[in-house]
Amino acid sequence: MKPTRSVGHGQRGKAAGMRSRLSRWLVAAPPSLFLALFFLAPSLIMAGASFRFPGELGGLAPLTASAAHGSDHGLTLEAYAFVFGDWVYLWICLKSFAIAAVTTLACLALAYPLAMLIAASPRKRRDLLVLLVILPFASNFLVRVYAWMIVLGPMDLLYTQTAVLIAMVYVHLPFMILPLYINLEKHDPALLDAAQDLGANAWRRFWHVTFPLSLPGVFAGSALVFIPVLGMFAVPELLGGTRDILIGNLIKEQFLDNRDWPLGAALSLVLTAMVLALAWGTLRLARARTRGLA
Amino acid sequence: MLLELRNVTRRFGALAAVQAVSLDIEAGEFFTLLGPSGCGKTTLLRMIAGFDAPDQGDILLEGANLAGTPPERRPVHTVFQSYALFPHMSVADNVGFPLLMSRRTREEIVPLVREALAKVHLADKAADYPHELSGGQKQRVALARALVNRPRLLLLDEPLGALDAKLREEMRSELIRLQRDVGITFVFVTHAQTEALALSHRIAVMNAGRVEQVDTPERIYEQPVNRFVAEFIGTCNLIDATVAAATAAHLGLDLGTLGEVVAPAAPGIAVGERGTLALRPEQIRLSARGHAERLRNQFEATVRESLYLGDVTHYSVALANGRTLQALAANSGSARAQLFSTGDAVTVAWRHDAGHFLR
Ligand SMILES: Nc1ncnc2c1ncn2[C@@H]1O[C@H](COP(=O)(O)OP(=O)(O)O)[C@@H](O)[C@H]1O
Ligand SMILES: [Mg+2]
């Protein structure tokens, strides 16, 4: 792992510097535009929606015709008052975080040895194994969840929290394996030789070298599993019992069944805020260096 | 004897990377394995470190057979060519790693790390990370890390290969100083003959998996045992010769159409034997024709090529029979050689005690 040293602009001509800046903008513009239009804009619309009144047949009540709700500007904190006013929402939130955490840990435990195995395989076999990991994506997600109903039914596990967890882990496992594999594959084998040469047995080589170097992969994989699990509603709806409702189901219900867009928007915004807070906390934790000798 | 290799052989399929190598390395020695790329140096080193095992033969450290002892339990450390510093650890943590592995306490480790870093002049870099260091500094950290818990043996696999020429020379002196200072036995691998000559107490010259000669640098250079060693260590003129006379002091060598020359005696050489006269370029003197001092071994020649290299000039001269010889003349001091140019008629000569007959 050699650090790349970027070449400063100092020696280059001014014109060349400007040209490279221009081309950088040209390259960055289309994806930025796409993200602004289809990611940022809807997010802002949802943020706005959470402060409005629900429409009679779903959607949002028009800003002008909100006199009926006793507000002269059409904005309200009603949805938030509702979310924070009932402990049930908090409880479902916490339960969802717990399920997401358990799923993430299970995925990590299963994916790590697999990713190590793939990374240690000869080059040719690696590509085949990676293909096998992403093969499930070739069939429809719902079809695969229904297939689990057939598997879990006779085992008497259907409509239980165990079924939800099994399917969650199954669905998200590739998202943990791939970033881990991509990280582990880059490790310089000379580092393990050096560690062994300097007296580290297999376990200590893993703990002192492989694992700390793989942390970026662990964090990437964990984010790719944890966050989608939080928003997942299909798996608990199909495989879980009536009590296994998660925050994802709750949000979906507001939009599709209850037609209360502001409440749905508020719930998803609260969820986003919690995820961001968690990500920030984790990052802080990861940055804090373990106590070294220096 | 610190390290003994007895008939060590390692095969990869049909290729014998190391063939029946036997070596004795003494405690405190700076021992060098010198040979061209692919001759089996790394393979041999990996077997000593324990990363590979011989197909035949034994490796003994202080009399104990190392077979079956994994690398982490051998009191042998390696400095890898790529340094292999742990990128996620500070310099101090890198150097402290082997101490941590031998379960020393933090109170013991801290002063040892400080001392080791001071030895390689990196006391002020303890908190830095490897990517913040220059190539030479990384090299020093790798050395400090490998020496900090005083292994019985330090293996160095072309450690200077990745450094630029200037730094390489600096590190050469540094290595000599460090080895004397710590008194640990070094087994050093290189394909650069000047490095081997400058650093070593003894050198083993390897070729295609075999050891050709084990000797001091002087003897390797001045008395190579065969054509391979003679040619691999520096430039060498190799002239086919037949022994015409053999006394206690001299050999008379018949060089065919060139006539006879005199060379130093060598034990066990009989009249009639065919072999090679090895002459170093710096042993050959050039003088303007007619101005030559009287020497026994003297021929007329023509300058074919002259390369001015600053401190020396390198000549290619053609003898009467068309054979070319390489000659080197110093460009400084009172004995400053006259500069010749292409086409000049010269006399080449060498002293009766110069050269070396190879069977
Ligand atoms: N693991 C291996 N498998 C097959 N051949 C190898 C292996 N390691 C080394 N060799 C071969 O053995 C020979 C000696 O290699 P090496 O010890 O690396 O030489 P050196 O270090 O002197 O350059 C080379 O021909 C190399 O290709
Ligand atoms: Mg090598």
Give the pair of three-digit tokens for residue A292. 């070294």
Residues B181-185 have a mean pLDDT of 94
Instruction: Take atom 16 of ligand 1 and give the residue whose Cα is closest.
Output: B40
Q: What is the CA radius of gyration of chain B?
A: 25
- Written in H, E and C, the secondary structure of A170-199 is HHHHHHHHHHHHHHHHCCCHHHHHHHHHCC
Q: Indicate which residue's Cα is closest to atom 14 of ligand 1.
A: B40
Out of A170-184, A234-248, B321-335, the most confident range is A170-184
Question: Which of B46, B66, B76, B86 to substitute to test the interface with A, most A CBs within 10 Å?
Answer: B86
Specify the DSSP class assigned to residue B338: P
Which carries the bigger pLDDT value, residue A56 or residue B284? B284
DSSP secondary structure, B283-322, as one string: G-EEEETT-----SEEEEEEEEEEEE-SSEEEEEEEETTS
Q: Between chains, do B97 and A201 touch, taking CB under 8 Å as contact?
A: no
Q: Whose CA is nearest to atom 5 of ligand 1?
A: B12
- Rounded CA separation B75/B114 (Å): 22
Three-class secondary structure of residue B7 per DSSP: strand
Chain B closest-CA separation from residue A280 CA (Å): 21
* A210 contacts in chain B (CB < 8 Å): none
Tokens of B38: 């692919």
- How far CA B257 is from CA of A147, A224, B296, B299, B351, in Å, comes to 93, 83, 17, 12, 20
Chain-chain contact of B126 with A293 (C-beta, under 8 angstroms): yes
Q: Which fold has domain A78-293?
A: MetI-like fold (1.10.3720)
* Domain boundary assignment for chain A: 78-293
User: Which B residues, 86 through 105, put their C-beta within 8 Å of a C-beta on chain A?
Assistant: 86-93, 95-98, 100-102
Task: Identify the pLDDT of residue B334.
Answer: 52
B94-149 per-position pLDDT tens digit: 999 999 999 999 999 999 999 999 999 999 999 999 999 999 999 999 999 999 99
**CB pair distance less than 8 Å for B87 and A292:** no
* DSSP line for chain A: -PPP-PPPSTTS-HHHHHHHHHHHHHHHHHHHHHHIIIIIHHHHHHHHHTTSPBPBTBSB--STT-GGGT-SSS--SHHHHHHHH-HHHHHHHHHHHHHHHHHHHHHHHHHHHHHHHHHHS-HHHHHHHHHHHHGGGGS-HHHHHHHHHHHHTTTT-TTSHHHHHHHHHHHHHHHHHHHHHHHHHTS-HHHHHHHHHTT--HHHHIIIIIHHHHHHHHHHHHHHHHHHHHH--HHHHHHS-TT---HHHHHHHHHHTS--HHHHHHHHHHHHHHHHHHHHHHHHHHHS------
| CB-CB neighbors (< 8 A) of B76 in chain A | 197
Answer whether residue A217 shows pLDDT above 80. Answer: yes
Q: Whole-angstrom Cα distance, residue B120 to residue B25?
A: 25
Q: What residues of chain B lie within 8 A of the CB of A204, using their CB?
A: 101
Q: How far apart are CA A21 and CA A287, in angstroms?
A: 31
Give the lowest-confidence range in A74-78, B150-154, B234-238.
Answer: A74-78
Instruction: Give per-residue pLDDT as tens, B277-327.
Output: 999 999 998 888 876 566 678 899 999 999 988 888 999 999 988 899 999
CA B35 to ligand 1: nearest atom: 22
* CATH match for B3-230 among 3.40.50.300, 3.40.50.620, 3.30.70.3280, 2.40.50.140: 3.40.50.300
- The ranges of chain B annotated as CATH 2.40.50.100 are 235-358
Distance CA A190, CA B162 (A): 15
Shortest distance, CA A210 to any CA of chain B (angstroms): 10
Least confident stretch, A10-19, A40-49, B120-129: A10-19
- State pTM to two decimals: 0.84
Q: Which helix (H) or strand (E) holds B199?
A: helix B193-199
Contact call for B101 and A194, based on CB within 8 A: no
Atom of ligand 1 nearest to the CA of B46: 17
User: Of the candidates B76, B78, B86, which has its C-beta nearest A209's C-beta?
Assistant: B86
Whole-number average pLDDT of chain B? 92
> Among partner residues B73, B80, B88, which is closest to A213 by beta-carbon distance?
B88
Residue B211 to residue B19: CA distance in whole angstroms: 8
Confidence band, pLDDT 50/70/90 cuts, at residue A5: very low
Give the sheet arrangement for strand B285-288, strand by strand: B285-288, B345-350, B297-308, B312-319, B324-330
Among partner residues B80, B113, B149, which is closest to A194 by beta-carbon distance?
A: B80
Per-residue model confidence as pLDDT tens digits over B209-221 = 999 999 999 999 9
Closest by CA position to A85, among listed A73, A76, A75, A77: A77
The whole-angstrom separation of Cα A23 and Cα A4 is 22
Eight-class DSSP state of B339:
P
Tens of pLDDT, residues B53-102: 999 999 999 999 999 999 999 999 999 989 999 999 999 999 999 999 99
Calculate mean pLDDT across residues B169-174: 90
CATH code matching the domain that covers B235-358, chosen among 3.30.230.10, 2.40.50.100, 1.20.1600.10, 3.40.1280.10: 2.40.50.100
ipTM tops 0.90: no
pLDDT of residue A65: 59
Query: Which residues of chain A are within 8 Å of residue B109 when distances are taken between CB atoms?
Result: 293
Q: Are B13 and B171 in contact (CB under 8 A)?
A: no
| Residue A18: pLDDT band with limits 50, 70, 90 | confident
- Give me ligand 2 centre to Cα B202, in Å: 19
User: Which are the contacts of A154, defined by CB distance < 8 A and separation ≥ 6?
Assistant: none
> What confidence tier does A4 reach under pLDDT thresholds 50, 70, 90?
very low
pLDDT of B222 above 70: yes
Residue range(s) in chain B whose domain bears CATH number 3.40.50.300:
3-230
Protein residue closest via CA to atom 18 of ligand 1: B42
pLDDT, averaged across chain A: 88
Chain B residue with CA closest to A1: the answer is B87
**Given the CA of residue B39, which atom of ligand 1 is nearest to it?**
22
B71 interfaces chain A, CB cutoff of 8 Å: yes
Question: Are residues A293 and B145, on separate chains, in Cβ contact within 8 Å?
Answer: no
Residues of chain B above pLDDT 90, percent: 78
pLDDT at B258: 85
pLDDT at residue A3, as a whole number: 45
| Chain pair A-B, CB pairs under 8 angstroms | 78
Q: Which of A200, A201, A294 sits opposite B91 (nearest CB)?
A: A294
Q: Which residues pair with B314 in a beta bridge?
A: B307, B328
**In angstroms, rounded to a whole number, what is the distance separating the alpha carbons of residues A214 and A205?**
13
pLDDT score recorded for residue A67: 56
Q: What is the pLDDT of residue B287?
A: 86
Pull the structure tokens for residue B266: 């060598």
A13: confidence class by pLDDT, cuts 50, 70, 90: low
- pLDDT band, residue B331 (cuts 50/70/90): confident
Whether the Cβ atoms of residue B252 and residue B246 lie closer than 8 Å to each other: yes
Query: Which protein residue has the closest C-alpha to ligand 1 atom 12?
Result: B17
- What's the confidence (pLDDT) of residue A66? 54
Largest CA distance in chain B: 78
Q: Letter for the amino acid at A224?
A: L
For chain B, the distance separating the N- and C-terminal CA atoms, rounded to the nearest angstrom, is 32
pLDDT at residue A289, rounded to an integer = 55
Determine, for residues B101 and A293 on separate chains, whether the beta-carbon distance falls below 8 Å.
Answer: no
Using the beta-carbon criterion (under 8 Å), do A292 and B113 form an inter-chain contact? no
Question: CA Rg, chain A, in Å?
Answer: 24
DSSP state of B67: T
Pocket lined around ligand 1, Cβ cut-off 6 Å: B 12, 15, 17, 35, 37-43
Distance from the alpha carbon of residue B39 to the mean position of ligand 1, in angstroms: 7
Q: Which residues contact A144 (CB under 8 A, 6 or more apart)?
A: A136, A170, A171
- Check if the beta carbon of residue B167 is closer than 8 Å to that of residue B135: yes
pLDDT at A9: 45
User: Using the 8-state DSSP alphabet, how is residue B335 labeled?
Assistant: T
Q: How far apart are CA B79 and CA B44, in angstroms?
A: 14
Nearest by CB: A294 against B70, B100, B127 = B127
